[in-house]
Amino acid sequence: MANDALAQKAQNFTNRGRQALEARRYDLAVELLSQALDAMPDLLETRRLLRAAQIAKFRENPPSGFALKLQSLSNMGKRAKILSLVKKGKGDEAMAEAEKLLGINPLDPDNIECAVKAAEAAGKPEAAAISVEAAYSCSHGDVNLLERVAQYYMVAKRYDKARDAYVKLSQLKPGDQRILQLLKNAEAQSTMSAGWSDTVGKKGGYQAILANAEQAKKINQANKAIVAGDDAEAMIAEKKAAIAREPNNLNFYRALARIYMQNKRFAEAVETLQKAQTVSQADPELDRMLSMVQAANYEYQIEQLRKEGRTEEADNLEVEKNQFVFDDLATRVERYPNDLHLRFELGYQYYIYGDQDPTFYDEAVQHLQLAQKSPKDRLQALYYLAMCFLKKGQRDMAVMQLETARDQIPTMDDLKKKVVYQLGLCAEEAKDYEKAYSYYKDVYSNDVTFGDLNERMLKISKLIQEQKAG
């Protein structure tokens, strides 16, 4: 009963903190969310909200460069105390002190490092990742921070997230072999996790397989990197044998299809997934994988054609691929009408082809309005809803969606920049130049390189002066 009361108390503080954050009352948000974590330290979503509130508060009135240096020096004693608690194995106490430090400056690398070490000492790798990830969202292109994010996702066994982080890293550092190898490792872990996790504890499942030393060795080898060549052939044979033993176990089909896909053997991956569909005819995950493999096959063929200089053929195949993606999404939405993520993806497809057929914007709106109910896609759905309304000439409706999205995005990430910039364009179109300038300034203060902000702010400044002169 006491635990229930404590959980309810933490939830109440979290709800009030979220409301304060949305209302941009950052001091209050930090206070309320900190109290929630005092009651229940393991609430990851609350910790994410707290980090967002800390960053928003800090960014609202940032100290000067010199003041930052002085601040960092003055916090040395606090950091030393935290590291001392870490050495003594007092991870929870260290985390509590680290939160106070992040409340002063959540973007100081030394503060972040202390928070990470404290979370690690407390056995909470995801809490460590939150600190690093939040900082990265405000540190454009900081490869060191992003790599820390990836590392902590690996520790937390969030392999898909780690893979995504390494993909982004590989884009920031093209050709870096170390990063590419780390990406392969994450991909392999993701594959194995998806392939085997559902069999844990079941008769003949993962635990039983691990009891076999030879099988365990093969699995460990597969964990090290994406399998290719002879290793791939061995793994393929193993998965085929597993399917023969357990023809109704979809995990084996998925794992086999992933190996085929990794080795660009798309036709075999498609065939494998189609066989799996005969086992389970209404499995959205199988449908998603099949669509992904088919799209990847198109991409691979297009890439090969471009390498060979066959540009026209590549362009034609790109059109075919785009049509496939569109038709495939429409089919899957019809099959799974309650899948809100599919609704978002189809709505987006209707939006990007709206220039070809303006009625597509109406179709996009229908799907995107439903997609708003998805926590994962809500903010993106609001943004593209707004863009649809703008295309339809309904500026007031667009502004409503944009303002809602702006108020629900806690930090000035890439999406919020686009949202606020669009609000600026809407205000500029309405000849409310001071409001437009204020929106542009919000984005500019976080990213001076964003779009055409420099030119627009100069233009708007002149227009404001002309209005005042009159």
Residue 393 belongs to some domain of the structure: no
Residue 143 belongs to some domain of the structure: no
Token pair of 183 as six digits: 């990406």
pLDDT at residue 141, rounded to an integer: 63
Token pair of 9 as six digits: 């108390």
Residue 221 belongs to some domain of the structure: no
Range of the domain at 417: 409-470
Token pair of 144 as six digits: 């060191």
Task: Please compute the mean of the pLDDT values over residues 283-304 and round it to a whole number.
Answer: 87
From its phi and psi, is residue 136 left (phi > 0), alpha (psi between -120 and 50) or beta? alpha
Residues 371 and 349: beta-carbon distance below 8 Å:
no
pLDDT at residue 199, rounded to an integer: 34
Task: Please compute the mean of the pLDDT values over residues 251-265 and round it to a whole number.
Answer: 86
Residue 456 belongs to some domain of the structure: yes
Separation between Cα atoms, residue 187 and residue 26, nearest integer Å: 38
Total structural domains within the chain: 2
Q: What is the pLDDT of residues 82-125, one digit of tens each?
A: 999 999 889 889 998 988 888 888 877 778 888 888 888 888 87
Separation between Cα atoms, residue 165 and residue 396, nearest integer Å: 37
Residue 283 DSSP SS3: coil
Residue by residue, DSSP assigns 393-412 as T-HHHHHHHHHHHHHH--S-
Task: Please compute the mean of the pLDDT values over residues 252-280 and round it to a whole number.
Answer: 87
* Summary mean pLDDT of the chain: 81
CA dihedral 216, 217, 223, 229 (to 10 degrees): -130
Residue 457 belongs to some domain of the structure: yes
Q: What is the pLDDT of residues 340-399, one digit of tens each?
A: 889 999 999 999 888 888 899 999 999 999 999 888 889 999 999 999 999 999 999 999
Residue 102 belongs to some domain of the structure: no
Task: Please compute the mean of the pLDDT values over residues 440-459 and round it to a whole number.
Answer: 83
Residues 457 and 441: beta-carbon distance below 8 Å:
yes
Question: Computed over its alpha carbons, how large is the radius of gyration of the chain?
Answer: 26
Q: What is the pLDDT of residues 165-194, one digit of tens each?
A: 788 787 777 777 888 888 877 877 765 554
Q: What is the pLDDT of residues 383-439, one digit of tens each?
A: 999 999 999 999 999 999 999 999 888 778 888 999 999 999 999 999 999 999 999
Give the relative orientation of helices 453-469 and 433-444 as an angle to the nearest 10 degrees.
150
Q: Check: pTM over 0.75? Answer yes or no.
A: no
pLDDT at residue 470, rounded to an integer: 64
pLDDT at residue 71, rounded to an integer: 80
pLDDT at residue 364, rounded to an integer: 94
Residue by residue, DSSP assigns 331-378 as HHHHH-TT-HHHHHHHHHHHHHTTTT-THHHHHHHHHHHHHTT-TTTH
Closest CA to 131 of 149, 156, 154, 144: 149
Residue 450 belongs to some domain of the structure: yes
Query: Buried (b) or exposed (e) across 303-339, using 16+ Cβ within 10 A?
Result: eebeeeeeeeebeebbeebeeebeebbbebbeebeeb
pLDDT at residue 212, rounded to an integer: 40
pLDDT at residue 376, rounded to an integer: 82
Token pair of 411 as six digits: 């930090």
Task: Please compute the mean of the pLDDT values over residues 27-34 and round it to a whole number.
Answer: 89
Separation between Cα atoms, residue 416 and residue 405, nearest integer Å: 8
Span of 129-133, 253-257, 441-445 with lowest mean pLDDT = 129-133
Residues 139 and 107: beta-carbon distance below 8 Å:
yes
Q: What is the pLDDT of residues 37-88, one digit of tens each?
A: 888 888 888 888 888 888 888 888 877 777 777 887 888 889 999 999 999 8
Residue by residue, DSSP assigns 208-274 as HHHTSHHHHHHHHHHHHS---HHHHHHHHHHHHHHHHH-TT-HHHHHHHHHHHHHTT-HHHHHHHHH
Residue 161 binned pLDDT confidence (cut-offs 50, 70, 90):
confident
- Report CA 315 to chain centroid distance, whole Å: 30
Burial label for 86, CB within 10 Å (0-12, 13-18, 19+), is buried
